[in-house]
Chains A and B, each alone.
Chain A
């Protein structure tokens, strides 16, 4: 089983839908991240949870709501998204004190 698992791999949703992205890490790490990768833009850090506390929220619209119930699981709840939110959403994990990130395969999100 891979170290960081994301589901679903692909998601198509309408602007009025509510959906959730799930991330699970099996590496024993204690920090988890959501990154957004849009076409022709660098990866954007959205949220960071360190030791299960949210420590970063980089001006992300409230239609994105993260949840970290424990150090192994991370969710991104989505509601009333816009077409410009279509992107690859990447989850990553690391050990606090270490800079190396381990990424999941991502969820390719399309908002219609």
Chain B
């Protein structure tokens, strides 16, 4: 079973609107990351939130983490057409000193100009 599962699978909005994506996971974690992927390209790290943090901001991104519910959300404010991409949450497998991550299936975000 997957560690991280995103919801919704696809999201279509107009430019200027906010986009919210959710991620649920199953086991205890010490951090959670969000990545972005443009079609057919590599993933780009967006933000990392640690288990002792509840909320983190980076530019137009806002990430929340609720460890009691084992869930996280990514909010993109004032979306732009250039935000069109797939967004993945990733959690560490744990017990390793390197970055072994488990990814969810992702949310496909389409922002219409």
Contact = CB atoms under 8 A, between A and B. Distances in A.
Interface in B58-113: 88, 90, 92, 96-106
B99 A94 contact: yes
For chain A, what secondary structure do more than half of its interface residues adopt (helix, strand, loop), or is it mixed?
strand
B42 A100 contact: no
A55 B98 contact: yes
Interface residues of A, number: 29
Contact of A103 (B31, B44, B106): B44
Contact of B103 (A42, A48, A96, A106): A42
Interface string B9-43: 00000000000000000000001010100001111
A7 interface: no
Contact of B99 (A4, A101, A106): A101
Contacts of B97: 50, 96-97
B57 interface: no
Interface of A: 4, 6, 31, 33, 40-43, 45, 48, 50, 55-56, 88, 90, 92, 94, 96-106, 108
Interface of B: 2, 31, 33, 35, 40-45, 48, 88, 90, 92, 96-106
18 contacts: A4-B42, A6-B42, A42-B2, A42-B106, A48-B100, A96-B97, A97-B98, A99-B31, A99-B33, A99-B99, A101-B35, A101-B101, A102-B45, A103-B35, A103-B44, A105-B42, A106-B40, A106-B41
